[in-house]
Structure 1
Amino acid sequence: MVIYINGQFLKKEDAMISPLDHGFLYGMGLFETVRVYEGFPFLLDDHLARLNQGLEVLNITYRFHREETNRILQDLLKINNLSNAYIRLNVSAGIGDVGLQVEPYKEPNILVFPKPLPLAGELSEKKAVLLKLRRNSPEGIERVKSHHFMNNVLAKREIGNAADIEGIFRTEDGYLAEGIVSNIFWVKGNDLYTPSVQTGILNGITRQFVIELAKKHNLCVKEGLYLLTHVLEADEMFVTNSIQEIVPITTFEGHQLPGKQGQVVQQLHREYRHYCQSLWSRNGLGSE
């Protein structure tokens, strides 16, 4: 597999960064995962906007732009003979002295990794389980998609490697938060519920897109602080992320759910498929 690193395309075995990179020493790094459908990077503008916002928080003086980033992606896809792929955009702060740095990072390491994915298919289901481990609080004012992933790794160890199970975090105060690698939603009547970013969750790109899709179809979206008892009354439940898209849940803490038979999840999935090869940003939903 060939990857991109700082302007070069190299075999992944040949790519190297310094052990003095502060992404390694202090976790000063960010990433985004983008799904490519038949060569099109879905919601790339939204991913880059969040990445750029995080770079500002980490005081890294680099910004991504669609034209340049898409050119790199298209070259990577061509070199690796891929048309459907997982893409990871990764920024690591760069070399610094040992010690905590206050000054801006002016020479970050920019890496882009591709991974082949199959053609996007039908809905696949998962079971959800409540994690014993609580969601850690964000490192700053709000959560960024950073290299600080130990909380997620420990949660994954708690549930094991089963691909059809997603662990659901609660906050220290007992409010539902998010999945290990996903945001969570549930349906009750005509209302679509999801935990608020006030809980300290990552404001997922797919989360934001699904919220706009739901509003487009006259669902009443409610973001708030919810306890377990609230979701156990749900008609449907699903989780979202950029690679797995919309994943319906069949059971959660003994509560049986319709999974992919749910009407709302089917409707949202159809809409997702309609846009996944053409939309640069969720803002494009309003331009039809």
Structure 2
Amino acid sequence: MNTVFLNGEFINREEAKVAIEDRGYQFGDGIYEVIRVYSGKTFTMKEHMERLYQSADKMKLTIPYELDELTGVIHELIKANSIQDGSVYLQVTRGVAPRQHNFPSSEIKGSVVAYANEVPRPLQQMQDGVTAKLVEDIRWLRCDIKSLNLLGNLLAKEEAVSEGHYEAILHRGDTVTEGSASNAFIIKNDEIVTHPATNLILNGITRRVIQDICKRNGMSFQEKSFSVDEVLDADELFIASTTSEVMPVVKIDDKEIGNGKPGSVTKKLQELFEERINKG
């Protein structure tokens, strides 16, 4: 697992260096995606790549490669690093230019970095469930862009993890938005509810897969706002992301959710998600 992609070249990881005036380093002026690999094959890569280019458009950032070229890069990294169950990280910044807040000349070419790692599936945690902490959402108002500006997410995650939790569940006032690195879902009377795909959340790829699974299997799925009190009163609570998959949350702060164990609806979603993985 030593081969990485850096600005058009496949090189050894130890040789990969970025410039000190790269705008991703100085401003967080860039975007990224994390693509899951199961049994050596990518999962939902098309959706991830489309979202990468959508994020770029929203930031007025030009990706210096066509979509099919970057797709080829990802496949090459998986092969070169013999990845079986893992992920590929892909990042694009606005490039290297003298430090100034306004965008550099359009002649400046964006920087592209990608690498692959083995990442085990969190199978035991998905079986047992995890705990979470409620944290005020202090992030900027364009969470729909998968940008490198993650300080708000990091502060929330660190607060939760430092107290022994798996994830932070974010809320703006009384309205729950999402997790620090995941989307959040409550289940009440067999109805699955998650925050609408607005600028206040990232429309997660796993979120979209779950929505499609529900549609195909006659499960109630609603996009609507819900409150902190509704989370605490939920029958079930789970989070979802590329690396966490469908992860039951059995306790939030000091409050058990339901009976304190992964619920039947969440377990059903896990089974259906597993079937989707196996289909490739």
After TM superposition, give the deviation of residue 67 of structure 1 in Å.
4.1
After TM superposition, give the deviation of residue 98 of structure 1 in Å.
2.1
Q: Does 1:214 align with 2:248?
A: no
After TM superposition, give the deviation of residue 195 of structure 1 in Å.
1.5
Query: Corresponding residue for 1:118?
Result: 120
Q: Which runs of 5+ in 2 are unaligned?
A: none
Query: Corresponding residue for 1:236?
Result: 236
| Cα 1:85–1:114 shift into 2, 3 Å | same
Q: How does 1:179-218 map to 2 (within 5 A)?
A: 179-198=179-198, 200-218=200-218
Task: Say what the alpha-carbon RMSD is for the aligned residues.
Answer: 2.3
Cα distance in 2 for residues equivalent to 1:36 and 1:66: 18
Query: Corresponding residue for 2:81?
Result: 80
After TM superposition, give the deviation of residue 64 of structure 1 in Å.
6.1
Query: Corresponding residue for 1:28?
Result: 29
| Cα 1:7–1:42 shift into 2, 3 Å | same
Cα distance in 2 for residues equivalent to 1:158 and 1:121: 24
Q: Higher mean Cα deviation, 207-216 or 253-262?
A: 253-262
Cα distance in 2 for residues equivalent to 1:159 and 1:3: 32
Query: Corresponding residue for 2:134?
Result: 130
Letter in 1 for 2:40: G
Q: How does 1:30-45 map to 2 (within 5 A)?
A: 30-45=31-46
Q: How does 1:1-288 map to 2 (within 5 A)?
A: 1-62=2-63, 67-102=68-103, 103-104=105-106, 106-118=108-120, 121=123, 123-124=126-127, 125-131=129-135, 133-138=136-141, 140=142, 143-161=144-162, 165-171=166-172, 173-198=173-198, 200-253=200-253, 254-258=255-259, 261-279=262-280
Q: Which runs of 5+ in 1 are unaligned?
A: 280-288
Cα distance in 2 for residues equivalent to 1:129 and 1:57: 31
Cα distance in 2 for residues equivalent to 1:58 and 1:28: 9
Q: Secondary structure at the match of 2:177?
A: strand
Cα distance in 1 for residues equivalent to 2:197 and 2:12: 39
After TM superposition, give the deviation of residue 66 of structure 1 in Å.
5.7
Cα distance in 1 for residues equivalent to 2:35 and 2:247: 17
Cα distance in 1 for residues equivalent to 2:164 and 2:93: 29
Cα distance in 2 for residues equivalent to 1:256 and 1:148: 31
Query: Corresponding residue for 1:284?
Result: none
After TM superposition, give the deviation of residue 63 of structure 1 in Å.
6.6
Cα distance in 2 for residues equivalent to 1:2 and 1:114: 8
After TM superposition, give the deviation of residue 161 of structure 1 in Å.
4.6
Q: Secondary structure at the match of 1:276?
A: helix
Q: Secondary structure at the match of 1:250?
A: strand
Cα distance in 2 for residues equivalent to 1:271 and 1:64: 35
Quick check: 2:38–2:277 contact (8 Å CA) kept in 1?
yes
After TM superposition, give the deviation of residue 59 of structure 1 in Å.
1.8
Quick check: 1:59–1:105 contact (8 Å CA) kept in 2?
no
After TM superposition, give the deviation of residue 49 of structure 1 in Å.
0.9
